[in-house]
A = this chain, B = another copy of it.
Amino acid sequence: MSKNPDAFTRLINALKILPNVGPKSAQRMAYQLLQHNRDGAQELSEALQHALKQVHHCERCNTFCEGTLCDICADSSRDPRRLMIVHMPADVSGMEAANCHDGLYFVLMGQVNPVQGMDLSHIALDKLVARLQNSEVEEIIIATNFTAEGDATAYVLAELFKNLPYKVSRLARGIPLGGELEYVDAGTLAQAVYERRMLKE
């Protein structure tokens, strides 16, 4: 992009930080925004600023929210005895759309990578332990992805709960192997919750 103006190149480079966006896509996005959708570009810029300022983590479940508690944690009609542990906020949305879990959630905001040495710093384990202290939780449903990372994360969680007084289950393998939660349809998601395998009673 040697002959491009600096501001344009800077925008292309900034767009490349988005997941799955390479140099060609970034170039096309920058062109699309500046030539055909300047209002959209303005809104995107402002939405980023607004989100950076407003979005924090729910004190209880660690998902993104604007106040102290997210809508689900603040909802007293949810069953506090069942806690479902997921990778990221999109997984909560998927579960809610499937309408198969009336308990609460905990969002790890990351996964363990078994290839890179099972580094636990990417998942909010400390916050999870604190969440369970003096809680009403009786059953924990591990709803991590059925990928290498999700399996490793589930293993770490199962080890963590081994000597603690909770029922622990993991989603049934109704979800296709290698699949990631956010791309699974609601029906399959629901079946995987109903048929969850007990790991420990």
Interface residues of A (CB under 8 A from B): 1-8, 10-11, 13-15, 17-20, 24-25, 27-35, 37-38, 40-55, 64-66, 70-72, 88-90, 92-93, 96, 109-110, 182-183
Pair B47/A51 contact, Cβ less than 8 Å: no
Q: How far is the CB of A58 from chain B (nearest CB, A)?
A: 9
Pair A11/B182 contact, Cβ less than 8 Å: no
A55 — which chain B residues lie within 8 A by C-beta? Answer: 5, 7-8, 11, 34
Given contacts A2-B93, A18-B33, 12 further A-B contacts (CB under 8 A): A3-B72, A6-B66, A7-B51, A11-B48, A14-B40, A14-B46, A15-B44, A17-B33, A17-B37, A18-B32, A18-B44, A30-B51
A52 — which chain B residues lie within 8 A by C-beta? Answer: 34, 38, 41-42, 45
Pair B54/A44 contact, Cβ less than 8 Å: no
Most buried by B among A4, A30, A40, A183: A4
A96 nearest in chain B by CB position:
B3
Pair B89/A11 contact, Cβ less than 8 Å: no
Q: How far is the CA of A122 from the CA of B79 in the complex (A)?
A: 56
Pair A42/B48 contact, Cβ less than 8 Å: yes
A1 — which chain B residues lie within 8 A by C-beta? Answer: 93
Pair A32/B7 contact, Cβ less than 8 Å: no
A34 — which chain B residues lie within 8 A by C-beta? Answer: 51-52, 55, 64
Q: How far is the CB of A10 from chain B (nearest CB, A)?
A: 5
Assuming the A-B contacts A14-B40, A17-B44, A45-B45, are A3 and B183 also in contact, with contact meaning beta carbons closer than 8 angstroms in the complex? no
A17 — which chain B residues lie within 8 A by C-beta? Answer: 33, 37, 40, 43-44
